[in-house]
Chains A and B, each alone.
Chain A
Amino acid sequence: MPLTPATALLAIVIMALVTFTTRIGGSIIMSRIPIGPKVERFINAMAGSVLVAVIVPLAAQGDWGARLGLLATLGAMLILHKPLVAIAAGMATAALWRLLS
């Protein structure tokens, strides 16, 4: 679908509907059939996997600034567990690498 103001609006509305469905869906499903452990494991693993599936190609196709930035974020998260600090570390690393290279 080519990007126009109208299709962008449509895409945003669709995203909003999909998200709202997930918000109310769990309660609706639960009122009929309880969610089993297998489905729960699928959803839990999928939640992280979709992020991995976005991040890995970013690293594979990005420049070294982007790669080192991601690495800095990973390191900062593992040590400090503070997302905002980790994101700032990633940005600073990418900016610094590009400044020096």
Chain B
Amino acid sequence: MTDDLEQRVRRELTGSRYELGLDPDDVLARVSGPKRRSRPGAATLATVAAALAVAAAVTVGFLLPGTSEAPVSPPAASASPAATLNGLPPGLAPAGDVAEVIKRAPALVGLPPGGTRSAYAAAAGGGVWRVVMVVDGGVAGLPGGVLDVPSDWAPDGSQLLLTRDGETTYVKVYRPDGHNFCLAVTGGPAEEQLAVLERLVTTNITR
């Protein structure tokens, strides 16, 4: 006998009230597909050229960690952070002065020394307002209390350490290929920081 409650649940879920009405252009602009290009319609040709140049430089720094290249120059205002680090929260843009972003209160004291550094910060307000990444930094422990890392963060077998210190959440990833990555997120609620870190790690580092 079919349960009446099951029928009600079926009717509820298949009704018309769950239409989300997302705009494909808006969604695609937030989702960086394979070899996704900047959208020329959103900027002048000069700005697009500048954005692509910055994206290429930062991508090289990200994919080939350990190079001795200096941090890239400040990006054009319209450069998409998704071009280098997929899954960033909306509103975060690459920061030109990485050291200043790290020192800003609350200072990100737990980052390892050296390595290739990049920073993303929100212009104003927003939930998570700073993300800093260090690729192939020196050996250093992370501050704060250790948090459990779900196994689905590392389908590639990477080793992860996740900690929470004050207003900042840190994660360090040791990939099987020998490279290591440290990410720090601060400025928003702890839950949001964790959700952002999960997205950044699984879409950029461990898959």
Q: Do A and B come from one complex?
A: no
